[in-house]
Structure 1
């Protein structure tokens, strides 16, 4: 991909929300390989869906021949960015920050190439900020910041007008992030900063500081935030944030999130988060319009992202887990995976001793699971062929369940009819 192709691609994908001097940025990109950076706040040990959009932006620049810098905010994370927040974040301890930085650094290495002529750089702003004393920072950096300009930033105005207000600590965040741009420009010839649209105030502050301190023109570019059509941030479920770490959000849960994206949002997600080309994008858009019930675009989005984030093993695991809900074979799934698949299914905790000796009578098991109101109701269900043990039909009314009938370490799955599931958990 050439530099000109990059701008064209960002435009058709809708990824340019704001930019400073777009003509100048075009000219810079066409003059040869450039360095671009995006900052990531280490607020958790894993990146999330919103972070993925920024990682993909860096990846697109790298694929076009530019050098990306993924900047982890070990220093700025001690304060917390007030942009887009209605109240002050809880400050993290040094140990929490160290764990978070280590976690997201490892994740970033999966999505960017750290080899070759335009090898990505993974930097931590604590490495240069730790050298500054408070007085030195005020003298060298603070004197270049007009307070009036800072007060004019939307992120500051919004918080000043809120009930929570804005602490001096958070007010200082803009100075730290702006200096990151200056440091990277001076030491790595980084001339471009990108980020989400909520970072516009911080980006332009960095551009102004670079002009004042280095007498250099640098450029800013922001992308829209990843939101639903009604303006809500994506990447949130009833259970919480959708993470990139499989220990926090399993490949199955990750797959289900994307396969259930609304028709009004799916094409924007494909444009923002994947490397699916424009021709395929147009075909998927047409398929969504002509036959929305088939969810062709959602399935393609889910498969692409799970494969990208979790690899081939992740997509196989997610697909196998999805089939289980529709009566598929239950193979090589553990307690944790089954718990995720059947998270909303009624379950009953039982003593494992019930599976020893002669075992637990299937008729009694159906009643304990709430799938039969009486022994005669249970027998009727078995006789009619509507009872399933671990998704396999059972017709033996005298069946005794033992440990050999467990679907995983301690879980047994009963089903009556097509969709009425229950879990028995033996401990």
Structure 2
């Protein structure tokens, strides 16, 4: 079975522009493809997983990935799937985020001469002359067609700024530029990017002729992939300083029964024959499937040692006795206490169990927080420093445990 067929069997391909040609290019390692990443944070999160795994699969088959960091388009903001305007970032913050991305991507793909490349579209977009862009690129786009694109429809009622309206032109120009300067002949993206991607293919055709081989493939990201991203944004990061390997493991261990086999199929590198054998698993077997999913992905991101630790810790907790060994731990410093006390909401945020005081308050009021097996019901509760002299275990929900020490 060729790679393209495997991608289809794994549920990764939603739409293509020329299946026969794309199949030939991917199966024979002739694709130089790009996937774009917005540098809106200093870490990738699990919503990026599908794209990262796809890049790895394609590179293993001899194709060449280009990781395009949207340093230029990040100055504008993508209207796709948004109801508000994205805040602006400084060039320094964008560059810092790009550097962090590359370190994490190196877990998935190999960079170097003749291998994967990372490029930043700020390198060409920031130097564009506005009038020249209008004449060279703007003339190739129909405003009527652009307004029919789903990514713009979602913003029309609340107000679409002219700044954001330019996003499609800028993304299309990216493919045009990469095609000319990097030999990029294929682009991948989510369903919400389809209009922008077709814009890039059409721009190449109109500027360079209909024989230019510019292909587009859309990943099935709107459902499974986007759902993972929305659940994870701000919470489940690939950076171990933001989400510990244990919490990362637990995120995948706790996926819904209906999603576990989809995730295994789309995100792991287990052979398809093995995955097909799991299709009829149910009941206790699904718990085993979740362990497999969590272990495979934790090993991919954090390495075998951390995956083993997370698995051992999870099993200790699962069988009833809460073992603190290998449990994610936060160490409190003296300066974090005021009058030898710390608020429970501050503690939850400090431990990474909540993204903000507001989120922490909802957890407490919802009965989702225990401290040393005692339910915390008052969001204003203050904890004495002496609480942490011995081992202190915070429990969030039913399965997330965290140790706090001094």
Query: For this structure pair, what is the TM-score category when the shorter chain's length is used for normalisation?
Result: 0.7 to 0.9
Moved more, 100-109 or 70-79: 100-109
1:306 equivalent to 2:298? Answer yes
- The verdict on how the C-alpha distance between 1:341 and 1:318 changes in structure 2, with shifts beyond 3 A counting, is farther
Deviation per CA, 1:361-420, whole angstroms, max 9, x where unpaired? xxxxxxxx8xxxxxxxxxxxxxxxxxxxxxxxxxxxxxxxx96xx3xxxx44599xxx9x
Do the aligned residues in 2 keep the contact of 1:78 with 1:92 (CA within 8 Å)?
yes
1:317 equivalent to 2:351? Answer no
Deviation per CA, 1:101-152, whole angstroms, max 9, x where unpaired? 22112211221012475x1111111111222122232222222222222222
What are the residue-to-residue correspondences of 1:87-106 with 2, within 5 Å? 87-106=84-103
What are the residue-to-residue correspondences of 1:380-419 with 2, within 5 Å? 406=390, 411-413=391-393
Corresponding residue for residue 371 of structure 2: 346
| 1:84 CA drift (Å) | 1.4
Q: Which runs of 5+ in 1 are unaligned?
A: 353-368, 370-401
Deviation per CA, 1:327-369, whole angstroms, max 9, x where unpaired? 25434667418956999322673344xxxxxxxxxxxxxxxx8
Partner-residue secondary structure (3-state), 1:122: strand
Separation in 1 of the partners of 2:401 and 2:260?
32
- The verdict on how the C-alpha distance between 1:94 and 1:12 changes in structure 2, with shifts beyond 3 A counting, is same
Corresponding residue for residue 377 of structure 2: none
Partner-residue secondary structure (3-state), 1:71: strand
Deviation per CA, 1:281-315, whole angstroms, max 9, x where unpaired? 022223x23x3465111110000000001112321
1:139 equivalent to 2:135? Answer yes
Separation in 2 of the partners of 1:248 and 1:80?
24
Separation in 1 of the partners of 2:145 and 2:31?
29
- The verdict on how the C-alpha distance between 1:170 and 1:341 changes in structure 2, with shifts beyond 3 A counting, is closer
| 1:27 CA drift (Å) | 3.9
Separation in 1 of the partners of 2:33 and 2:192?
18
1:148 equivalent to 2:144? Answer yes
Do the aligned residues in 1 keep the contact of 2:330 with 2:403 (CA within 8 Å)?
no
Corresponding residue for residue 366 of structure 1: none
- The verdict on how the C-alpha distance between 1:273 and 1:239 changes in structure 2, with shifts beyond 3 A counting, is closer
Corresponding residue for residue 5 of structure 1: 2
Moved more, 334-343 or 237-246: 334-343
Relative to the length of structure 2, the TM-score reads 0.79
Corresponding residue for residue 188 of structure 1: 182
- The verdict on how the C-alpha distance between 1:137 and 1:60 changes in structure 2, with shifts beyond 3 A counting, is same
| 1:165 CA drift (Å) | 1.8
| 1:322 CA drift (Å) | 2.2
- Between the two proteins, the alignment pairs up a number of residues equal to 360
Do the aligned residues in 1 keep the contact of 2:16 with 2:217 (CA within 8 Å)?
yes
1:130 equivalent to 2:126? Answer yes
Partner-residue secondary structure (3-state), 1:295: helix
Of the three residues 265, 268, 273, the one matched with 2:267 is 273
Separation in 1 of the partners of 2:288 and 2:143?
52
1:20 equivalent to 2:17? Answer yes
Do the aligned residues in 2 keep the contact of 1:16 with 1:221 (CA within 8 Å)?
yes
- The verdict on how the C-alpha distance between 1:12 and 1:251 changes in structure 2, with shifts beyond 3 A counting, is same
Corresponding residue for residue 253 of structure 2: 259
Corresponding residue for residue 44 of structure 1: 41
Partner-residue secondary structure (3-state), 1:74: coil
Q: Which runs of 5+ in 2 are unaligned?
A: 333-350, 355-367, 373-381
Do the aligned residues in 1 keep the contact of 2:252 with 2:290 (CA within 8 Å)?
yes
Do the aligned residues in 2 keep the contact of 1:178 with 1:203 (CA within 8 Å)?
yes
Deviation per CA, 1:71-98, whole angstroms, max 9, x where unpaired? 1111011111111112221222333222
- The verdict on how the C-alpha distance between 1:320 and 1:237 changes in structure 2, with shifts beyond 3 A counting, is farther
Partner-residue secondary structure (3-state), 2:369: coil
Do the aligned residues in 1 keep the contact of 2:198 with 2:216 (CA within 8 Å)?
yes
1:168 equivalent to 2:193? Answer no
Separation in 1 of the partners of 2:208 and 2:216?
16
- The verdict on how the C-alpha distance between 1:192 and 1:329 changes in structure 2, with shifts beyond 3 A counting, is same
Separation in 2 of the partners of 1:308 and 1:425?
27
Separation in 2 of the partners of 1:11 and 1:255?
27
Do the aligned residues in 1 keep the contact of 2:369 with 2:394 (CA within 8 Å)?
no
